[in-house]
Structure 1
Amino acid sequence: MRRLSHTSHPGHAADEPRGFEKPVGMRDYLPEAVRKLRLIEERVGRLFGLWGYDEVMTPTLEYDETVGGASSTLNHKQFKLLDKHGNTLVLRPDMTTPIARVVASVLRHEPLPLRLSYCAHIFRAQENEAGRSAEFKQMGVELIGDASPDGDAEMLALAIESLKVCSVEPFQLAIGHVGFLNAFLRHCIGDDKAIEQLKSYLNDYDYVGYREAVAQLSLGGDAKRRLNELLAWRGGKALLQERMAEAASVEEREALDHLRKVWEALDVYGVTPFVTLDLSMIGKMNYYTGIYFEGYAEDHGFPLLSGGRYDALLARFGRSAAAVGFQLKVDRVLDVSPLTEDQKEHVLIVYDPSERFEALRSARKWRQKGRRVTMQVGSELEKADVEKLSERYDEVVCVEGGSGGDG
C-alpha cells in the first residue's frame, strides 16, 4: 500500500539530534495525498456553495483574550505566543469561535440568518498523545440566526451529503440532544459535581466508568436504573415516543419534541436511513446547547464529522443569536475515502540544451491538449535515473537532432 502521508509520534530522545523529525502531531502530505485532499476540498466546497453557504477566511492567529478565551478547547491544548507588543496570541483551536467573532463584529450589520462556510487548518497541542494530529484541516458550515428544527435538519442533511460526495460508505450519523441530557441528569441527580463526572465519562465513551460512578451515587434504585438505561436509549422515531411518555420535566419534553420535529424534516429530506438517535451523546465542546451529532464510517472508531447547536456562543461577542453548524474532519475523510483523481496523461521530455526550442514547442502543444508535461535537461540525468523516472510517466520522449514529435 502506498504511503500518502506521515504523522510524527512521540518517542524522540531528548539528547538525540532531531534530523528529519517533525514536531509531535505534525504531518507531511505526499503528492498522492495532496491530490486526493484537493479533490475532497473541491467536492465539499462546491456542495456548500450549492446549498447557499458563502465561504469566509479568518486569521490563523487570534487574540487569546477573545477567541482563545471563548473557545471550548482547553487552555493547555492551545498553541500560544507573544507578539512584539506583548499581546498573547493563539493559533486558532477551532473555527466556530472565530466565525462567531466575525458575525458579531465585521458582519454585525448583516441581517440574519447568515450561512457561512470555511476550509481551514486547526491547531491543538497534543501532549505526546500518539496518533493525534496537532495540525489538521476542517471544512464546515455555520447557520447563524435560525433556531428552528428545519435549521437543524438542514445541517444534518448537508452533513450526510458531505460524506456522500466524498464517496464514504457505509456511514451513519448519531444524534443526541445536550438540552435533554442535562435536564435528565439534573432530574435524576441534582448534584452538579456528580453530573459533570457522569458527563465526562459519556464524553469519553467510557461506559464502564459511567456505570461504576452511577453505582457509587447515593441514589434510590429507580434513579440508578434510569441512569443506566440511558446508555441503551438509541434508535429511531419510536425512541422519541417512548422517552416522551416517561419524561419527568418540561425541559426533557421540549427537547424530545424538538428532536421529533427534526426527524420529521429529515424524513422529507429522505435521509433518515443514515440517522440514529443516541440520547447519551454529549459534545466535547462545552458550548453546545441543543442537538449534537457525529458521523462515522463503518469499522472506523473516530468521527469523520461532528457538530451541533450552540445558541449561547455569539452572545459572548456581543451579538446574541441562535446558531448551528458542523465540521468535516478532512484528514480523517482522506484516510477512509476511496476517491481518486482522474490523472491526465503525463509526458516526460528529456532534452539537450541545444534542442531547447524544439522541446518547448512540443511541450506547449501537448499542454494545449490537456496533457501534463515535465521537461528535464538530459545532462542532469544518468541512464539509471531515466529508467527509474520513466516509471512515473506514461511516456518518455527524448528530443534529439530536431526531433520531438507533435504528440
Structure 2
Amino acid sequence: MSTIQMFEKPLGMRDSFPKVNEQKEYIRSVAREFIRNKGYDFIKTPSVEYFETIGKASAIDESSLFKLVDNQGEMLVLRPDMTTPIARIAASKLLKEKNPLRLAYYANVFRAQHREGGRPAEFEQLGLELIGDFSPYGDSEIIHTAVELVKALGVESFRITVGHAGVLTAILKNNTNKKDQAETLRQLLVEKNFVGFEQKLEDMLLLEGDKENLMTLIDNTVESKSIEDYRPLLTTDQQHLIDQVEQLQSLLTMQLNDPSIVSFDFTLASHMSYYTGMLFEIHAAGSGFPIGNGGRYDELFKLFDEEVGATGFGIRVDRLLEVLPPKEVEEKHTLLLFHKDSYAKANGLAEEKRKNAERVTVQYMGSVSDLEAFKRIFDDVIIVSEGGSVRE
C-alpha cells in the first residue's frame, strides 16, 4: 500500500475553488427561486443512512456505496442518491400531512469509484419529486418543469429524450425466451451498446420474428416511426403502456413552446432499476453525458409500504457547469490596508461601505508578504491611516 501524501484527496473527491463555488451558489439561488415559485418545498435528509433501509432500497449498485459502521455496530452508508431518502421521509411522515407532495433538494450524493477515470465520487444534485400523482399530468409537469428550469439556469442548447421503462420491458420480454436474456439486452441498452446488442441477438436462440422485432427496436427511434407503430410489438393487455406515452406526448405538445426539443426513444434505459414508467434524459451541447435524468418510480414506494405514484428528476450540477457559460459577477471589491494605529478607523470605513452593499476586505499591511501582487487582486485599494485615507 502506497503512502498517502498530505495533499492527496480520497479517490474521486474534488475541491471546489472560489470561482466554481460562486457558480454553484448562483445555480442554487436561481434554482431555489424558480422551484419554489412552481409550488415545491425544499427538503434536507441526512448524509448518512442505514444500509439495511436506504442502502438496499437504492437503485445504486452495492459496490458503489460508501459503507461505514457506527458505534452500535450498525452498517451505514453515505447517501448514494436523493430519491430513496425522500421516499423514506415521505412515506413515514409527510404523505400523512399532504398528498400529493411536491419536494425539492440541492444536496451532495456519494458513489464510490474503483479507479479514478475522471469520475467524481461526491457530487451535487439539484432536483424535485412529485409524490402522490399517478396521472400523465404528473409526468408532463415534471418534464415541463425540467425544461423551464434548464432554460432559467442559462443552458442555451439542449434536448430531452423520453422513453418508457414499461414499454421497453414488455418488448424485451415478448421477444426473448428467458428473463436473463431480456435483462442482458436491457443492460446493453443502459450502456448504449447497440453493436453489442446486435451481436448478442445472434448468440441467442431466438425465433427469426423475435430477432426482427428487436432489431426494429434499435434500428428505428420514434422520430423515424410513430409511437403507434410500436403497438404490434405489445400484447393486448400491454396496449395501455402505449396509451400512456401518447397521452404524455399530447400534453407536452400542448405545454411546451417548442415541442421539437423533446423526442421519444423506446431504447432509452436506466441503471436506476426503480423506474417503471416514463423516463427521460437531458442532453446539452458541451457535455458528453446527460446533465440530468428522471422518470416515474411508483414501485419504490412499495418498499416503504405505500401505494402512491411518484415521478421526478435530478440535475448533475458538475455536468451543468460544463455547459454553462462562465458567470461573471460584476461587483466591486475594495481593499482597505491599515497600519497598527488605524485598525479601528479601517473597520469603521469598511462598515460604512458594506452598508451600501459593497464588498470590502480589511487587511493589516504588515502581514502581506508581496504587497503589490496582493493589491492587484482588488478593484479599488485604499490605504487607511490616522492622518487620512489615500486611494491608490
Match of 1:336 among 318, 323, 334: 323
**1:283 CA displacement:** 1.3
Q: Residues 251 and 344 from structure 1, CA distance in 2 versus in 1: closer, same or farther, beyond 3 angstroms?
A: farther
Alpha-carbon separation, structure 2, partners of 1:132 and 1:257: 39
Unaligned runs of 5+ residues in structure 2 are none
What does the per-residue CA deviation read over 1:381-407, in whole Å, with 9 as the maximum and x for residues that have no partner?
A: 24xx22111222101111134212699
**Residues in 2 aligned to 1:173 and 1:404: alpha-carbon distance in whole angstroms:** 57
Q: How does 1:245-394 map to 2 (within 5 A)?
A: 246-250=232-236, 252-270=238-256, 271-382=258-369, 385-394=370-379
Aligned residue identity for 2:246: R
Q: Counterparts of 1:1-400 in structure 2 under 5 Å? A: 14-236=1-223, 239-244=226-231, 246-250=232-236, 252-270=238-256, 271-382=258-369, 385-400=370-385
- How big is the alpha-carbon RMSD for the aligned residues of Structure 1 and Structure 2? 1.8
Cα 1:248–1:69 change in 2 (3 A) is: closer
Greater mean alpha carbon deviation, residues 234-243 or residues 97-106: 234-243
Secondary structure of 1:208's counterpart equals helix
Q: 1:17 to 1:68 in 2, by over 3 A?
A: closer
2:94 is paired with a residue whose SS is coil
Deviation at 1:339, TM superposition (A): 4.8
CA deviation string 1:232-264 (max 9, x = no partner): 3324496213223x3431354222211111111
Contact 1:184/1:252, CA 8 A, preserved across alignment: no
Instruction: Look up the SS of the partner of 1:72 in the other structure.
Output: coil
Give the count of matched residue pairs.
391
Deviations 1:76-108 (A, max 9, x none): 111111111111111101111101110111224
Q: Structure 1 length normalisation: TM-score?
A: 0.92
Question: By how many angstroms is 1:165 displaced?
Answer: 1.5
Paired residue type of 1:361? G
Q: Which amino acid aligns with 2:295?
A: G
The answer to which of 23-32 and 222-231 deviates more is 222-231
Secondary structure of 2:8 counterpart: coil
Q: Determine if contact 2:335/2:381 at 8 Å carries over to the other structure.
A: yes
Unaligned 5+ residue runs, structure 1? Answer: 1-13
User: Relative to structure 2, which stretch is displaced further, 227-236 or 121-130?
Assistant: 227-236
CA distance in structure 2 between the partners assigned to 1:67 and 1:22 by the alignment: 27
Q: TM-score, normalised by structure 2?
A: 0.96
- Structure 2 Cα separation of the partners of residues 233 and 144 of structure 1: 33
Q: Could you tell me whether the CA contact under 8 Å between 2:213 and 2:233 is conserved in 1?
A: no
Q: What SS class does the counterpart of residue 113 from structure 2 fall into?
A: coil
